[in-house]
Amino acid sequence: MKRFVQFIAGAICPSCKEKDTIALNTNNDEIYCVKCDFKDKRPSEEGLKNTKEINVVNLHDFKKSKNKN
């Protein structure tokens, strides 16, 4: 069975600076780069409130709003 990889669109790896290489491990809420060895915990929403440079889209919220239309 193939493993589904959920990428974070537009994210730039802080380590190798490649764009669109950051993926989310849904089992442990860890983000990682598929090009280098970067790994980190997924940023919390509280931690992102003070950050204007990052635009995070919750796919579950997007799907809910899309289904309402």
Flag whether 34 is in a domain: yes
Residue range(s) defining the domain that contains residue 62: 6-68
List, edge to edge, every strand of the sheet that includes 39-41.
6-7, 22-25, 30-33, 39-41
pLDDT tens per residue across span 5-50? 788 889 899 999 999 999 988 788 899 999 999 999 877 666 555 5
Flag whether 1 is in a domain: no
What is the DSSP secondary structure assignment for residue 29, as one 8-state letter? T
Flag whether 29 is in a domain: yes
Counting the structural domains of the chain, the total is: 1
Asked whether residue 53 carries a pLDDT value surpassing 70, the answer given is no
The answer to whether the Cα torsion of 37, 1, 10, 49 is positive or negative is negative
Flag whether 17 is in a domain: yes
